[in-house]
C-alpha cells in the first residue's frame, strides 16, 4: 500500500525481507547496500542486534527521481526471524507493497522455512494483505553450502505456487541478491503502475523502474 505525498510529489513503497531466523535477510540488505550504485541508495540502518540476530528491523532506502519530478523511494526492511519476535514481524509487514521471502537452502532448515512461510501467510492476513496478490519472490539462499537441497526438488515443490517464483542465491558471496531484488521489482511494477500510472503520468516505464532502482556498481558486479 504505497504512500503518495502530493505536495512533495513523493511516492514511498515498502518491501519486506521475511523468513526464518538466520536465513540471511540482513546479509541480503548489506550486500545490496554494497552492490548498488551509490546515487541510488541511502544509508543502511541496522537496528538493535544481539549476537548478529535482528531484534527489531534493518532498513535500506533506495530511490530515483523521474524527469517529470516524481521522487520515488523504496524502503527495504528486514524482519527479525526468531520465533518470539512475531509482533515485530507483523508490524514491519503492515502496509508492505512487496515481500522477498528468504528461505534457507540447507536440508535441515526445510521445516523452519515452512513454519516461517505459514507465519508470513498468517501475518499477511492479519494486516489485511492477500498473499496471492502481493508481489512476492522466494529466494533460496545459502546455495554455497554442501547440504543445500537440490534445485530440481525445490522447483518441483514450488511449482504449485506460481504466484511465488523462486530464485537462488548465496547472499554471503553477493550472488543472486540483485537478481532476486530485480525479480521482485518486475512483479511490483504492474501493481504500482496500475495505481499510480508510473508510465503515463511520470514517464517511468518498466525498464527504467527495474534498471534505475537496481543499477549495479560496476566495481562490485555480481
Ligand atoms: N554459507 C552462507 N552463510 C550465509 C549466507 N547468507 C547469510 N549467511 C550467514 O548466516 C548467518 C545469519 O545471517 P543473517 O543475515 O544475520 O540472517 P537473518 O535472516 O537476518 O537472521 P535474523 O535476524 O535472526 O532473522 C550469518 O552468519 C551469515 O553470514 C549464505 O548465502 N551462505
Ligand atoms: Mg537479521
How many Å apart are CA 57 and CA 71, to the nearest integer? 24
**Neighbouring residues of 27: CB distance < 8 A, sequence distance ≥ 6:** 141, 171, 172
Residue pLDDT, tens place only, 149-205: 999 999 998 888 888 999 999 999 999 999 999 999 999 999 999 999 999 999 999
How many Å apart are CA 107 and CA 36, to the nearest integer? 31
Measured CA to CA in angstroms, residue 113 lies from 10, 78, 202, 203 at distances of 36, 16, 39, 39
Is residue 128 pLDDT above 80, yes or no?
A: yes
Greater confidence, 220 or 192? Answer: 192
For residue 53, the CA-to-ligand 1 centroid distance in Å is: 9
**What's the predicted TM-score (pTM) here?**
0.96
**So what's the pLDDT on residue 79?**
96
**So what's the pLDDT on residue 51?**
76
**So what's the pLDDT on residue 41?**
85
**So what's the pLDDT on residue 1?**
72
For residue 174, the CA-to-ligand 2 centroid distance in Å is: 16
The alpha-carbon radius of gyration of the chain (Å, integer) is: 17
Residue pLDDT, tens place only, 50-73: 777 888 889 999 999 999 999 999
How many Å apart are CA 84 and CA 204, to the nearest integer? 41
**So what's the pLDDT on residue 129?**
97
Tell me the HSE value of 68 on the side-chain side, using a 13 A CA sphere.
13
Residue pLDDT, tens place only, 70-116: 999 999 999 999 998 999 999 999 999 999 999 999 999 999 999 99
How many Å apart are CA 38 and CA 19, to the nearest integer? 27
Mean pLDDT of 140-149: 98
**So what's the pLDDT on residue 52?**
79
Pocket test for ligand 1, best of 19, 20, 22 (most atoms within 8 A of CB): 22
Sequential DSSP letters for 127-147: TT--TTTS-EEEEEE-TTSTT
Which protein residues are within 6 Å of ligand 1, measured from CB?
19, 21-27, 52-54, 78, 80-82, 141-142, 144-145, 170-172
**Residue 221's pLDDT band (cuts 50, 70, 90):** low
For residue 101, the CA-to-ligand 1 centroid distance in Å is: 13
Measured CA to CA in angstroms, residue 210 lies from 44, 60, 95 at distances of 20, 17, 21
Residues with CB under 5 A from ligand 2 (ion): 25-26, 54
Decide if 213 contacts 166 (C-beta within 8 A).
no
Task: Identify the DSSP state of 207.
Answer: H
Q: Whose CA is nearest to atom 25 of ligand 1?
A: 81
Mind listing the domains of the chain with CATH numbers? 3-220 (3.40.50.300)
Amino acid at each position: 500500500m504505497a504512500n503518495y505525498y502530493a505536495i512533495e510529489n513523493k511516492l514511498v513503497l515498502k518491501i519486506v525481507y521475511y523468513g526464518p531466523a538466520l536465513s540471511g535477510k540482513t546479509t541480503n540488505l548489506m550486500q545490496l547496500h554494497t552492490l548498488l550504485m551509490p546515487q541510488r541508495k541511502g544509508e543502511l540502518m541496522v537496528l538493535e542486534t544481539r549476537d548478529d540476530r535482528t531484534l527489531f528491523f534493518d532498513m535500506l532506502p533506495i530511490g530515483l527521481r523521474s524527469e517529470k519530478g516524481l521522487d520515488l523511494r523504496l524502503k527495504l526492511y528486514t524482519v527479525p526471524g526468531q520465533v518470539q519476535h512475531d509482533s515485530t514481524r507483523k508490524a514491519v509487514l503492515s502496509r508492505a507493497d512487496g515481500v522477498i521471502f528468504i528461505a534457507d537452502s540447507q536440508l535441515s532448515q526445510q521445516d523452519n522455512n515452512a513454519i516461517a512461510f505459514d507465519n508470513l501467510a498468517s501475518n499477511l492476513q492479519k494486516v489485511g494483505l492477500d498473499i496471492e496478490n502481493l508481489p512476492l519472490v522466494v529466494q533460496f539462499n545459502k546455495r554455497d553450502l554442501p547440504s543445500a537441497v537440490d534445485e530440481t526438488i525445490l522447483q518441483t515443490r514450488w511449482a504449485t505456487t506460481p504466484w511465488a517464483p523462486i530464485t537462488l542465491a548465496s547472499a554471503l558471496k553477493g550472488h543472486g541478491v540483485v537478481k532476486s531484488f530485480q525479480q521482485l521489482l518486475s512483479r511490483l511494477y504492474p501493481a504500482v503502475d496500475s495505481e499510480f500510472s508510473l508510465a503515463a503520468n511520470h514517464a517511468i516505464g518498466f525498464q527504467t523502474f527495474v534498471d534505475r532502482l537496481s543499477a549495479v556498481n560496476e566495481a562490485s558486479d555480481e
